[in-house]
Amino acid sequence: MVVADGMGPAYTSAYRYFNDDPTTVEIEQTVFERHLKGLSSTYPEAISGYVTDSAAAATALATGIKTYNGAISVDVDKKPLLTVLQWAKQQGKKTGVVVTSRINHATPASYLSHNESRKNYNELANSYIDNGIQADVYFGGGWKNYIRDDRNIVAEFTQAGFQYIDRYSQLNTLKANQPVLGLFAKTSLPWALDDSNKHRLTPLTQTAIKQLTNQAGFFMLVEASQIDWGGHDNDIAAAMHEMDDLANVMLYLESFVAQNPDTLVVLTADHSTGGFTLAANKDYRWEPQVLRSMKHSITTIAEKIIAQDKLNDAASHQANTQLKRPIKGDQISQWLNFPLSTTEIEQLQQVEPLFHAQTQHYALLDKRLKEQQSPPSLKNSYRRALLSIIDKRTNTGWTTSGHTAIDVPVFAFGKHSEQFSGQLDNTDIANKIFSLLGK
């Protein structure tokens, strides 16, 4: 089971053009188009309206039951619901999760545990031991919740016979036929753009399958977690490179199924994020060229600009001058990996003065108003300016920083994949998997 968090249909369309080879006449087919089966509705239980969050959606995909937003595989009465992963484990199959979020985030937690709120990260981490170990492989992030002052859950996993790794380079050192916990970051993994392996889902999934393969079979959840976060941030560069990470692992799974035709792969999204549009402002174009060449996330570039600003401040102080050296446009262009226009450079040079003005305004607010909004952040100010430049260059549109209620695509290949065709509800996907697993 593969979940692409936040991946509405606009994302797979955008990836087609992002992935297109501009030196050829045709627009190349993607792995997604080869295996499209239909659409799925995503609405939660009526108490939460029509727009789902990731927890309610993952609960539906994992259990076949609708619930309220924020719930981790409990029903509206907060009673635990059996998940497809837990059922597979009960049937003697090996199980695993491979995610780019922390392993106790909403989607993986909904397959592995039960809680009235997705926000209870430490409780969810504890439950992976306290409620019985449900999986043989856990790959993702999560040092923050699993190595704590009050409890070292990693140590408890190792005492239970698990191997533990915290670096990608250790993937090829694992012993066969021994469960493994791999936590590779404090919380989530870095953006694909910033990671040491921009296609990290593929080696993680390859290794997980190697560890899980056995005569009785296995059930595995793979989540491309951060497509959703690109949508929340209205960051098309991050979203497309997360999509590229997903596409790469789907190509691997395609080859795996070709060699193992008794395997079923189902891919869908839990919801769509951002109200993302390919074109905006009545301008009939979408131009992803600059996205393809980017080597760093917008967040990292904002941090680099601030670090360079501090160096410039120090140089001005050392030279005993009040004149601050403005950050050079060619330096930012180098980090973006495409040349900025004079207008774009000027836009970025206005960020710091505007930030100082906003900071002064915030300082004058009364306590009540301060509690209603976050204080200005220089990094976020640079991020917004950089995102604006990218959106204008690509002509990308967004309608929200949250989720939307549109249906999401369903892809499937391998044995019994025809069962996932047509118009489905997210609960149908879980119920079909339950049926295939003999329930």
Q: Report DSSP letters for 310-347, one per residue.
A: HHHHHHHHHTT-S-PPPPPHHHHHHHHTSPPPHHHHHH
SS3 string, 240-256, reads HHHHHHHHHHHHHHHHH
Provide the H-helix boundaries in 282-436.
Answer: 289-293, 298-318, 329-336, 342-349, 351-363, 367-371, 378-394, 426-436
Do residues 402 and 273 touch, judged by C-beta distance below 8 A? yes
**What's the Cα-to-Cα distance from 289 to each of 40, 175, 276, 292, 294, rounded to whole Å?**
31, 43, 18, 6, 10
Place of tokens 């950050």: 327
- Of 165, 144, 147, nearest to 156 (Cα)? 147
Do residues 37 and 25 touch, judged by C-beta distance below 8 A? no
Catalytic residue among 13, 40, 48, 54: 54
User: What residue type is 114 in one-letter code?
Assistant: H
Q: Is the dihedral of CA 164, 170, 176, 182 positive or negative?
A: positive
Strands 2-4 and 218-224: parallel
Task: Give Dmax (Cα) for the chain.
Answer: 77
**What's the Cα-to-Cα distance from 123 to each of 100, 104, 127, 206, 285, rounded to whole Å?**
20, 9, 6, 30, 47
Provide the H-helix boundaries in 102-235.
Answer: 106-112, 121-130, 143-146, 153-159, 201-212, 227-232
Asked if 54 is an active-site residue, the reply is: yes
Spatial distance between the Cα atoms of 292 and 340, rounded to a whole number of angstroms: 16
- Of 200, 336, 245, nearest to 11 (Cα)? 245
**Which residues are catalytic, by number?**
54
